């Protein structure tokens, strides 16, 4: 079937619609110091409208954002809109504004910072006077919509900002944030043919760096799972950055290769649950891969004849998704596999 040709009349009508709607959005760009932003926000000169979501950022989100501000990293534009009473309505940037206020008021203590590790536990008042001044003098760029912009257009802009695009996964961000030897080594492991065959991943997840996530989890948990507290992302960030250029590549490679070979020899479906599985649950991969590697460290010539426990209710319970961020369950499922393989 041939594609219907666009008529001249349709082109003219579309052009008129585009021009008419473009005129509905007029804006200016302003630079505000953080001190001015906060003072106006506290006076309610800048306010958050009812359609905005509640203050939902987790402590890790807040600390990470404040760290970016302290490091002087580029911060995305915030979007405000002028009101008839002279105030500015916050269309996009509410979470950032509230986090900045919470930190400046001394109510937020920094935690789990991946780079400024010596500032963990600090509140604003613990910073030196020089760094407090630098914090207040930091400039934020704000796009301010004209007061003639209708409420519908403002809410439409808010919806577009918060739903457009695809959010980067933690692994995608991590790969770009921590270039170095360990990152390159993990990339190499991701392409290992044996790993790819034993650990089925959908094409969609593969594109979003799921293999990088799994390999990093293997090394982080193998060498440091007892330090895991609760939040996976900061734990992995810290492990990667701390070992970026100091890790023992020969040891890492041997542990990875030995683990894969053992899984190939004894686990019928590799890391997957069934022969035709097209995906591998993270918790299952963690339990099997790290458990096997820990067992091999204790007994390099290990052989097994019975893996019936893989179908047990106990193993199923330990490898359910809701156990992924629980420090006790992480250790339990890893050590369960290790101990079963060692015959304990």
For residue 4, give Cα distances in angstroms to 1, 10, 13, 18, 153: 9, 12, 17, 22, 32
Query: What is the spatial distance between Cα 65 and Cα 96, in angstroms, rounded to a whole number?
Result: 8
CA dihedral 316, 317, 319, 325 (to 10 degrees): 170
pLDDT value at residue 16: 78
| Residues present in the chain in total | 344
Q: What is the pLDDT along the chain (344 residues), one digit of tens a residue?
A: 556 788 888 888 888 777 776 555 677 788 999 999 999 999 999 998 776 656 778 888 899 999 999 998 888 888 888 888 889 988 888 889 999 999 999 999 999 888 899 999 999 999 999 999 999 999 999 888 877 766 666 666 666 665 555 566 788 778 766 778 999 999 999 999 999 999 999 988 988 899 999 999 999 999 999 988 778 888 898 899 899 999 999 999 999 999 999 999 999 999 998 888 889 999 999 999 999 999 999 999 999 988 999 999 999 988 886 555 566 788 999 999 999 999 98
For strand 139-145 and strand 78-82, is the pairing parallel, antiparallel, or unpaired? parallel
Domain ranges of the chain: 8-163, 170-341
In the sheet that 88-92 helps form, which strands lie side by side, from edge to edge?
27-33, 139-145, 78-82, 88-92, 46-47
Give the C-alpha separation, 235 to 225, whole Å.
10
Is the CA virtual torsion 46, 143, 75, 139 positive or negative? negative
Report the alpha-carbon distance of residue 338 to residue 309 in Å, rounded. 12
Q: Residue 59's Cα: distance from chain center in Å?
A: 14
Max CA pair span of the chain: 80
Q: Does the model's pTM come out above 0.75? A: no
Q: What is the pLDDT of residue 93?
A: 86
The span from the CA of 59 to the CA of 111, in Å, is 8
Specify whether the CB–CB gap between 124 and 105 falls below 8 A: yes
For residue 45, how many C-alpha atoms fall within 13 Å in the half-sphere facing its CB? 7
């Amino acid at each position: 079937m041939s594609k219907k040709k666009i008529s001249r009349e349709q082109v003219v009508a579309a052009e008129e619609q585009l021009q008419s709607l473009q005129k509905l959005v007029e804006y200016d760009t302003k630079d505000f110091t953080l001190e001015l932003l906060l003072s106006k926000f506290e006076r309610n000169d800048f306010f958050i409208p009812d359609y905005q979501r509640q203050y939902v950022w987790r402590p890790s989100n807040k600390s990470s954002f404040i760290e970016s501000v302290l490091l002087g990293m580029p911060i995305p534009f915030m979007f405000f809109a002028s009101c008839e009473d002279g105030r500015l309505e916050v269309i996009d940037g509410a979470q950032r504004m509230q986090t900045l206020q919470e930190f400046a008021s001394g109510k937020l203590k920094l935690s789990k910072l991946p780079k400024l590790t010596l500032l963990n536990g600090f509140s604003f008042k613990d910073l030196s006077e020089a760094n407090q001044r630098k914090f207040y003098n930091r400039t934020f760029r704000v796009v301010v919509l004209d007061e003639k912009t209708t409420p519908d257009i403002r809410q439409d802009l808010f919806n577009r900002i918060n739903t457009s695009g695809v959010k980067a996964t933690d692994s995608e961000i991590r790969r770009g944030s921590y270039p170095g030897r360990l990152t390159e080594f993990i990339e190499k492991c991701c392409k290992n043919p044996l790993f790819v065959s034993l650990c089925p991943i959908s094409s969609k997840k593969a594109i979003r760096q799921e293999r990088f996530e799994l390999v990093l989890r293997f090394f982080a948990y193998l060498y440091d799972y007892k330090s895991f507290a609760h939040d996976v992302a900061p734990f992995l960030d810290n492990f990667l950055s701390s070992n970026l250029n100091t890790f023992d590549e020969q040891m890492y490679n041997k542990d990875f290769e030995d683990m894969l070979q053992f899984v190939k020899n004894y686990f019928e479906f590799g890391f997957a649950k069934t022969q035709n599985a097209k995906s591998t649950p993270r918790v299952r991969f963690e339990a099997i891969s790290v458990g096997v590697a820990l067992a091999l460290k204790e007994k390099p010539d290990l052989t097994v004849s019975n893996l019936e426990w893989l179908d047990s209710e106990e193993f199923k319970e330990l490898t359910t998704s809701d156990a992924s961020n629980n420090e006790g369950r992480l250790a339990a499922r890893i050590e369960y596999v290790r101990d079963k393989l060692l015959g304990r």
